[in-house]
Amino acid sequence: MEFLQQIINGLSLGSIYALIALGYTMVYGIIKLINFAHGDIYMLGAFIGFYVAIRLNLSFFPTLIIAMLGSMVIGILVEKIAYKPLRKSPKIALLITAIGVSLFLENGTRFIVGASPKTFPQLINNKKIFIGPLQISTIQLLTFAVSVVLVILLTFIVNKTKSGKAMRAASFDMEAASLMGINVDNTISLTFALGSALAGAAGVLVALSWITIEPYMGMMPGIKAFVAAVLGGIGSIPGALFGGLFMGIAETLTKAYISTRLSDAIAFGILIIILIIKPSGLLGRKTVEKV
């Protein structure tokens, strides 16, 4: 029963990783950019939720929606200001810029809000629900439920809407999509907006569990979510979902049965093993590089 309890805990954590990983995989799928600033959008979502809840005295769902909208705006601004001018530059220039944007967001937030951790308000009553010997908290249930709803909504947008079709077309061939009348710039901005909204939602959900938030809280979850995206097959939405859940369960089981101090090392070790066996990721498509 302890094993099942750890699986429940891992699914709750993995759903957070999945939400962040979806932003990585969507952006990479279109412009082949590893947006290392994405973890900091998650951090900013938590801070937007914090100030909205404190200043406006809002409940959970309005706080979540405003945090998602604020994260969307920040994601679009980052894309327009930092990435769009370098779109035709070498990939290494975009990668270095992404790292620079990450450092700017972290230290800019630290300058504005201060270095001391903030205590996130208790927006919901966190109760323990017992199912036989197993227990699950209302925050865990809410985290998983909101994550599932957002993933279903994202899947609908990508597969069933005109904008989603434009995103899929741009991911296959950006130039051909442009020739077919698709506004590639708007499509890329929409991709950043959707990915940033999911990261902002993850920030609020984690803040409910962790209680404290600080400007550097996005570093390690951002890296783990990137690992999850690569693990599932970067560029694949189902892969990001699977990779996030896998990472969450693997981390939780490692902490429970091996060592809390080795959990991060083992998680990255799993990534190395998977990439040696299947470099494209578990659900990724094999691609051919032209030289």
Residue 10 is assigned to a structural domain of this protein = no
Q: Which residue has the higher pLDDT, 263 or 209?
A: 209
Residue 92 is assigned to a structural domain of this protein = yes
Q: Residue 13: name the closest of 206, 222, 215, 243 by CA.
A: 206
Residue 291 is assigned to a structural domain of this protein = no
Q: Which amino acid is at 290?
A: K
The proportion of the chain whose per-residue pLDDT surpasses 90, expressed as a percent, equals 39
The proportion of the chain whose per-residue pLDDT surpasses 70, expressed as a percent, equals 97
The region of weakest confidence among 22-26, 65-69, 203-207, 276-280 is 276-280
Tell me the pLDDT of the chain averaged across its residues.
Answer: 88
pLDDT, tens only, 160-197: 999 989 998 988 888 888 888 889 889 999 999 999 99
CB 191 within 8 A of CB 26: yes
* pLDDT surpasses 80 at 207: yes
SS3 217: coil
Confidence (pLDDT) at 51? 94
* pLDDT surpasses 90 at 42: yes
Residue 174 is assigned to a structural domain of this protein = yes
Contacts of 13 (CB under 8 A, 6+ apart): 248, 251, 252
Residue 203 is assigned to a structural domain of this protein = yes
Residue 230 is assigned to a structural domain of this protein = no
Confidence (pLDDT) at 291? 40
Residue 246 is assigned to a structural domain of this protein = no
Q: Tokens 């249930």 correspond to what residue?
A: 141
- Find the domain containing 209 and state its range: 15-214
Confidence (pLDDT) at 290? 43
Answering whether pTM is above 0.85, one says yes
CA distance 267 to 275: 13
Strand pairing partners for 243?
none
Residue 137 is assigned to a structural domain of this protein = yes
* pLDDT surpasses 90 at 50: yes
* Count of domains observed in the chain: 1
173: number of Cβ within 10 Å: 11
Token pair belonging to 195 = 């990915």
CA distance 17 to 235: 15
